[in-house]
A and B are shown apart, each in its own frame.
Chain A
Amino acid sequence: MKSKTALGLGLILFLLGLPLISLGSAREIGVLFYLGLAAVIVGAALPPFIRFSCRIAGTWLSEQNADWRRTCNQ
Chain B
Amino acid sequence: MEANVPTDLLHWIAALLPIALLLLLLVGFRWKSTEAGPVGLFAAIIIALLLFRTPLETVTVAVGKGVWDSIFILYVIWPALLLYRVADRAGAFDSLRIGITRFSKNNMFLVLAFGWVFASFLQGIAGFGVPIAVVAPLLLAIGVKPIFAVAIPLMGHAWANMFGTIAVSWLATNTVIDIAEPVATAWETAALLWIVNIVGGLTIAWLYGRGAAIRHALPVILIISLIHGGGQFALVFWNPVVSNFIAGTTALLLLYPLSRWKRYNQPHEDMAVQAMSEENSREPSGREERTHEPVMGLGMAVFPYIVLTVVTLGGLLIPPIETALGAVEVGLPFAEVTTGYNVTREATDAYSPFAVFTHPGTFLVISSIIAWAVYRLKGYYAAWSRIKEQESIWKGVTDGAFPASVAVLSFLTMATVFDHSGQTQTLALGIAAATPPVGYAFASNFIGVLGAFMTSSNTASNVLFSGLQQSVAQLQNLPASSIIAGQSAGGALGNAIAPANVVLGTGTTGISGQEGAVLQKTLPLSLIVAVLIGIGTIILVAM
Known: A40-B63, A44-B409. A25 touches B38 (CB 8 A): no
Asked if A14 meets B409 with Cβ closer than 8 Å, knowing A26-B335, A44-B42, the reply is yes
| Chain A neighbourhood of B59, CB < 8 A | 37
**8 Å CB interface, B93-135 against A:** none
A28 interface residue, CB < 8 Å from B? yes
Q: In the complex, are the beta carbons of B335 and A25 less than 8 A apart?
A: yes
Pick from B32, B56, B334, B413: contact of A40, CB under 8 Å: B413
Residues of B within 8 A of A (CB): 31-32, 34-35, 37-39, 41-42, 56-57, 59-61, 63-64, 67-68, 70-71, 332-335, 398-399, 402-403, 405-406, 409-410, 413
Inter-subunit contact A11/B333 (CB<8 Å): no
Q: Which of A8, A19, A26, A37 contacts B60 (CB 8 A)?
A: A37
Closest beta carbon of chain B to A19's beta carbon, Å: 8
Residues from 1 to 28 in A contacting B, C-beta threshold 8 Å: 4, 7-8, 10-11, 14-15, 17-19, 21-22, 25-26, 28
* B409 adjacent to A22 (CB under 8 Å): no
Known contacts A40-B63, A47-B34, A26 near B398 by CB under 8 Å: no
- Excluding A10-B34, A48-B39, A51-B32, 18 further A-B contacts by CB distance (< 8 Å) are A7-B34, A11-B406, A11-B409, A14-B67, A14-B70, A15-B71, A17-B64, A21-B67, A22-B64, A22-B332, A25-B60, A28-B335, A34-B60, A36-B60, A36-B64, A37-B63, A40-B67, A43-B406
Residues of B within 8 Å of A4, CB to CB, are 398-399, 402
With A8-B402, A25-B333, A26-B334 in contact, is A47–B60 under 8 Å at CB? no
Is the CB of A68 closer than 8 A to any CB of chain B?
no
With A7-B402, A14-B67 as given contacts, are A21 and B60 in contact (CB-CB < 8 Å)? yes
User: What is the bound-complex CA distance between A45 and B409, given in angstroms?
Assistant: 12
Which residues of B have CB within 8 Å of A21? 60-61, 63-64, 67, 334
Residues of B contacting A17 in the complex (Cβ-Cβ under 8 angstroms): 63-64, 67
- Closest Cβ of chain B to A3, distance in Å, is 9
Contact pick for B35, options A40, A43, A48, CB 8 Å? A48
Report A-chain residues with C-beta under 8 Å of the C-beta of B403: 7
CB distance from A17 to the nearest CB of B (A): 6
Q: Once the chains are docked, how many angstroms separate the CA of A5 from the CA of B474?
A: 53
Query: Whose C-beta in chain A lies nearest to the C-beta of B62?
Result: A21
A10 to B35, CA, bound (A): 11
Q: Nearest A residue to B33 by beta-carbon distance?
A: A47
- Could you tell me the distance between the alpha carbons of A50 and B515 in the complex, rounded to whole angstroms? 19
If the complex has contacts A8-B398, A11-B402, A40-B413, are A47 and B63 also in contact, measured as CB distance less than 8 A? no
Docked-complex contact A47 and B332, CB < 8 angstroms: no
